[in-house]
């Protein structure tokens, strides 16, 4: 990965974190059509959801 790609990756991560910070877990579960309690069976908190998203969609 060159410096330009790395910089883009960091910018994308920062933007995703900012958007994620403002997103409520309820909105995530509504979008996924699942109960809010169900998501906590898989993730401890919103930060874990972001980490999973980043590692599987951006970093993956």
Q: Which residues of 22-49 are buried (b: 16+ CB within 10 A; e: fewer)?
A: eeeeeebbeeeeeeeeebeeeeeeeeeb
Q: What is the pTM of this model?
A: 0.58
**Domain with 40 in it:** 3-58
As for how many domains the chain has, the answer is 1
pLDDT digits (tens, 9 = 90+) for 2-52: 777 766 666 677 777 777 777 788 888 888 888 989 889 999 998 888 788
The whole-angstrom separation of Cα 47 and Cα 4 is 27
Q: What pLDDT does residue 13 have?
A: 73
CATH number at residue 38: 1.10.10
């Amino acid at each position: 990965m060159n410096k330009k790609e790395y910089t883009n990756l960091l910018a994308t991560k920062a933007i995703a974190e900012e958007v994620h910070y403002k997103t409520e877990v309820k909105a995530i579960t509504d979008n996924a059509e699942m109960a809010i309690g169900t998501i906590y069976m898989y993730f401890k908190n919103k930060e874990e959801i972001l980490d999973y998203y980043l590692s599987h969609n951006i970093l993956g």
